[in-house]
Amino acid sequence: HLSIRRQRQMCIRDSDIGKELDVAYLLEGSFQKIGDDAKLIVQLIEANGERHVWAEEYNRDWKNFFSVQSEVAQTIARELYTTITPEEKQLIEKIPTSNMTAYDLYLQANEYKNGYSKTRDLSSYQTAVNLYRASLKIDTTFAKAYIGLALAYYDRFYWPEFFKENFLDSCLVLANKALSIDDKLDEAYYLKGQLYRQNGEIEKALRNYDKTLEISPNFY
């Protein structure tokens, strides 16, 4: 079992995090981007003994950075004496978009969307929507940007549209659009499950939740 942390919280011991998450290993990383240069430093930590199992630094051109995720995953699998299945390898190596400008806008949009979820600041919501749309204007086949936009709408209009007959149909349209481009997108199936559940279509909801877990067994 592996958990990924983006930042170390010095006040919390690795062993405590491992126990809380019920994982044996933690993957800690830091990321820095300056211009077209990107640096990723990752280290694999044994949670119980807080022992550093492996560490590596990756320096890449930002345009070629997607290749690093496959490299890191396969290296960790070797360190843990596990095997990545062909299906898992295919998911790991999948490139969400070939346009890094679109990807950068998508990442920014995610930050504003997450900010809105915490603060309910409408300016954060609108900025997120604008950034998702800008990303999709550059790459109309960017599936994750469609589902990011759908999730932003879901978060913003869930209660205002809860009792409407066409409850968040726009989100369903965007989720289906995303899946027409990438049928292995766990977030899209999850969102469809949520929408069907709220509309009382339980069997459809369960099928989409099952599909989510089929793609990502640890999806929350």
Question: Which residue type, as a one-letter code, is found at position 175?
Answer: A
Asked if residue 3 lies in contact with residue 27, where contact means CB atoms within 8 angstroms, the answer is: yes
Per-residue pLDDT of the chain (220 residues; tens, 9 = 90+): 444 444 444 446 777 887 887 888 888 888 887 887 888 888 888 887 667 888 888 888 777 777 777 777 777 777 777 777 787 777 777 888 989 899 999 999 999 999 999 999 999 999 999 999 999 999 999 999 999 999 999 999 999 999 998 999 999 999 999 999 999 999 999 999 999 999 999 999 999 999 999 999 889 8
C-alpha 172/C-alpha 162 separation (Å) is: 14
Residue 120 to residue 132: CA distance in whole angstroms: 18
Contacts of 78 (CB under 8 A, 6+ apart): none
- The pLDDT score that the predictor gives to residue 21 is 77
Closest by alpha carbon to 65, among 45, 35, 86?
35
pTM, rounded to two decimals: 0.76
Q: How would you class 186 by CB atoms within 10 Å of its CB: exposed for 0-12, middle for 13-18, buried for 19 or more?
A: middle
Contact indicator for 115, 121 with CB cutoff of 8 Å: yes
